[in-house]
Chain A
Amino acid sequence: MAKAIWIGFVALAIALPCFARAQQDTQKEIERYRELLQDGNPSELFEARGAEHWKTKRGPKNASLERCDLGRGAGVVKGAYVQLPRYFADTDKVQDLESRLVSCMVALQGLSSEEAKRRPYSGPGQPSVMADLVAWIASESRGMRIAPPQSHPKERLAYQVGEKIFYYRAGPHDFACATCHGEDNKRIRLQDLPNLTNAGDAQRAFGTWPAYRVSQGEVRSMQWRLYDCFRQQRFPELEFTSDAAIALISFLAKQAEGGTFEAPAIKR
């Protein structure tokens, strides 16, 4: 009997480090896969289209977006993404990149806001002007520090609301964002889940969206990422550019403050 237990212990002692090592190796291999892919990131194709859309005249006013103010002055794209979401006086709202682009399309190009939001995400054979613009504008902040402003009361409010939503448990599974993203070393199958309450993880996560999703063959934005999280949580559909989406993005951006922005990245 004692012998059997002893053998059991030995087996466990051998098995445990092996398991940990296998997991580490898998993680390393996933990292290597991402590195190999990064060199030929097809996001470049989306970025090139986005840069064209920015200059293309559209809508009833037949105007381009070149005078669009993304927070750093009319037409300034460089470094705009890392300082969003922020408060805009003309709309009296805190806006992220996509909601700001909708405002610009309405104000400058004369589109209705429904038209501007008609295809927020791309699909097979159906490119999205919005998604292309987001890819390009984000790429113009590569290598910069994530620095969302928090000086306006509405910016602080958006952060607080975002934090509330992050911890809010609801839906048929009684789930919150924090259920998956509130602890270290959690996984869904092989996917490591970032702990978004810790700065390092939040910086890595926020700093790599938008991203080209290899499994979908599309560049996906932060709005899309949250929309998909809500779907996985079995929450009601997260409305594109809604206050809830912007509040959550404000919260995540602030969590990631000081990190280096490396998007559009590439993900499995």
Chain B
Amino acid sequence: MADAMRIRANIVGDKVEVRVLMSHEMETGQRKDARGDIVPAHFIQNVTVTHAGKTVLSAQWGPAISKNPFVHFRFKGGKPGEKVTISWVDNQGDKRTDEATISGG
């Protein structure tokens, strides 16, 4: 299973600022290994961030996203102590869900 995400969620002004680091190889499917064989594509396809039962970010990714992706965004309506849940699913069906608690300004 994939490593845990590193998530930081802080109140900045009237918004919640979220920073997420994901551990993923993000193989494009175009690279060859030392033997000359194609390394199969392996990348995160769907990212969903939810807060209080609502989706606040939904993304569809492809092989152009870098290895170990970093996501940084803000959303309105979060309060300190509440949870933000982040999930991703990759093209091979691997998935990972982690959550973080919003901390005050």
Contact = CB atoms under 8 A, between A and B. Distances in A.
A124 B25 contact: yes
Contacts of A125: 25, 27, 39
A40 interface: yes
A74 interface: no
B70 A40 contact: yes
Interface in B29-85: 31, 39, 66-68, 70, 72
A39 B4 contact: no
Interface residues of A, number: 11
B23 interface: yes
B39 A42 contact: no
Nearest to B34: A123
Interface size range of chain B in the complex? 10 to 19
B12 interface: no
B4 A48 contact: yes
A45 interface: yes
Nearest to B72: A40
A40 to B, nearest CB: 3
Contacts, number: 34
Contact of B39 (A39, A40, A124, A217): A124
Interface in B1-44: 3-4, 6, 19, 21, 23, 25, 27, 31, 39
Contacts of A39: 19, 70, 72
A49 interface: yes
Contact of A49 (B3, B27, B31, B67): B3
A217 B3 contact: no
B68 A45 contact: yes
B70 A45 contact: no
Interface of B: 3-4, 6, 19, 21, 23, 25, 27, 31, 39, 66-68, 70, 72
The 9 A-B pairs of least Cβ separation, nearest first, read A40-B70, A42-B68, A217-B67, A45-B23, A44-B6, A125-B25, A44-B21, A42-B21, A40-B21
Interface of A: 39-40, 42, 44-45, 48-49, 124-125, 214, 217
30 contacts: A39-B19, A39-B70, A39-B72, A40-B19, A40-B21, A40-B70, A42-B23, A42-B67, A42-B68, A42-B70, A44-B6, A44-B21, A45-B3, A45-B6, A45-B21, A45-B23, A45-B68, A48-B3, A48-B4, A49-B3, A124-B25, A124-B27, A124-B31, A124-B39, A125-B25, A125-B27, A125-B39, A214-B66, A217-B66, A217-B67
Given A42-B68, A214-B66, 15 more contacts: A39-B72, A40-B21, A40-B72, A42-B23, A44-B6, A45-B3, A45-B21, A45-B23, A45-B68, A48-B4, A124-B27, A125-B25, A125-B27, A125-B39, A217-B67
